[in-house]
Each structure stands twice: as C-alpha cells, then as structure tokens.
C-alpha cells in the first residue's frame, strides 16, 4: 500500500482527528490491513489566518518545508489538515513530487453529488476573505450564501477561544445556535470548512440540510488512493 502523509499541527487536534478518521474508515481485521500513515504535527507553523490577512509568506515557506519533509520520509500522498492553509495549496503542490489532496474540491464535488445549488461554508475569516472556497463554488456553478458578520465572529471565537484553547464543552451548542440561524437562509448544504470544527461535525444536524465534512471525505479518498479497503459507511471511532 501507499503511505499517506498528514501535514498537521495546524491545529494539533485537526491532524490527529484526520488520522483517526482514516483508521475509522478503513475496513481492516488486522494491523497490516490499515493504511501506513505519517503524521507530522508541526505546531511551529504560524497562524494561517493572521499570516494571510497580513500578507506574510512565512507560513507558505513553513508548509512547503513540512511537505518536503513528509515526502522525504516516504509519503506517497499528502493531505494538508487545514482548510485555511489551502490558500497555499498550489505552491505546496508545485514544490513536491507527490499528489496533494484538495479537501476544498472534494467538499464541493460532494455538494454537487447531493444535488445542492446553495451552499454555506463555516470556516475562518481568512478562508472567507481569500475566497478559497468561493472560487471553487463559482466554478462548480453553485451559489454561496455567507454567514452574517456576527455569526462569523462567533465562529472565529469558537475556533480560537474554545477549541484551540482546550475549552470544547459548549462548542456543539454554540455551533447549533449559529446553524439554526443559518438555516433561515435556506442553504442545501453547509460545509464544515475548518478542520477543527470537523471534530464536532458528527454532532451537527439540520433538517433537510446536508452537513458536509471535508475531513471525512479526504480520509476516505486517501484510503482509496493508498490501496486500503473502505468501510461501507463512515464509521465512528
């Protein structure tokens, strides 16, 4: 089987969660039937949102260095475990000789598979301001509905002051309050566009609205490309 490289640490829980989802979505009766995975949790990488908003290219260099390290260690496939860091995905791909899976493209493809025309993306302010999802949504012929300013600020608070700070107790309730308001805009799908929010995606649900988790999608795609056996349905670990 091929080896999957996870560029993690951005944030630390996100890389670990992706690793867990790869394990959970692999149909295996023995250790040897699981996909080989290299997880590099590089917590020294600067905050992506701050760097993008300040037009600081340091993060790009750090991501490329980390990707090259994983390639040198034997990774055949790379996943960048951060939605916001996909702002640099083309530069990372150009710097290495192994394929980089694009979680944004996978999410939009899934929305199209579901037959959705109206989508919302729940992610960081940098993800929103750079348009890394918006461009792919437009190219797919879909319509993006934005969270209002107050809810976007609350999403950022949940990511930075709750999850990253190790205070997750009220996250699901806070997210559901935001999603209930978002439902009034009648989206057909809401993409969990932050890898740290993905940790809670299985606990989020709205009537007649698809919740799309890019981490779940990329975990299953990586297993498939690596030559592993997929579970029939997404498993809970």
Predicted confidence (pLDDT) per residue in 74-123, tens digit = 999 999 999 999 999 999 999 999 999 999 999 999 999 999 999 999 99
- 191 and 142 in contact (C-beta within 8 Å)? no
Answer yes or no: same fold for 4-102+216-226 and 104-213. yes
79 versus 237: the higher-pLDDT residue is 79
Cα separation of 121 and 62, whole Å? 26
For 4-102+216-226, CATH number out of 3.40.50.2020, 3.40.710.10, 3.30.70.660, 3.40.50.1860 equals 3.40.50.1860
- 25 and 61 in contact (C-beta within 8 Å)? no
Predicted confidence (pLDDT) per residue in 111-147, tens digit = 999 999 999 999 999 999 999 999 999 999 999 999 9
Would you place residue 168 in the very low, low, confident or very high pLDDT band (cuts 50, 70, 90)? Answer: confident
**Tell me: domain 104-213, CATH 3.40.50.1860, correct?**
yes
How far are the Cα atoms of 51, 114, 117, 156, 181 from residue 121, in angstroms, in the given order?
21, 16, 13, 13, 14
The set of catalytic residues is 82, 194
User: What are the residue boundaries of the structural domains of the chain, listed by start?
Assistant: 4-102+216-226, 104-213
Cα separation of 116 and 190, whole Å? 10
Cα separation of 49 and 127, whole Å? 8
Cα separation of 29 and 33, whole Å? 7
């Amino acid at each position: 089987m091929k080896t999957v490289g996870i560029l993690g640490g951005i944030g630390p829980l996100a890389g670990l969660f992706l690793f867990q989802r790869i394990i959970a979505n692999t149909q295996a009766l023995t250790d040897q039937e699981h996909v080989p995975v290299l997880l590099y949790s590089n917590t020294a990488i600067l905050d992506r949102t701050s760097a993008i908003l300040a037009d600081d290219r340091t993060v790009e260099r750090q991501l490329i260095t980390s990707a090259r390290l994983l390639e040198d260690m034997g990774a055949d496939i790379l996943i960048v475990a951060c939605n916001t860091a996909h702002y640099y995905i083309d530069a990372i791909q150009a710097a290495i000789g192994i394929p980089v899976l694009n979680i944004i493209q996978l999410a939009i493809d899934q929305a199209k598979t579901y037959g959705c025309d109206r989508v919302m993306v729940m992610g960081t302010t940098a993800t929103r301001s750079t348009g890394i999802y918006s461009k792919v949504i437009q190219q797919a012929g879909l319509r993006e509905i934005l969270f209002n300013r107050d809810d976007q600020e609350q999403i950022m608070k949940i990511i930075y002051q709750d999850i990253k700070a190790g205070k997750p107790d009220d996250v699901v309730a806070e997210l559901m309050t935001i999603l209930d308001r978002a439902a009034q805009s009648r989206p057909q799908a809401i993409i969990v566009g932050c890898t740290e929010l993905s940790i809670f995606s299985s606990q989020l649900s709205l009537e007649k609205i698809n919740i799309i988790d890019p981490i779940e999608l990329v975990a299953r795609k990586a297993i498939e490309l690596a030559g592993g056996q997929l579970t029939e349905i997404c498993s809970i670990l």
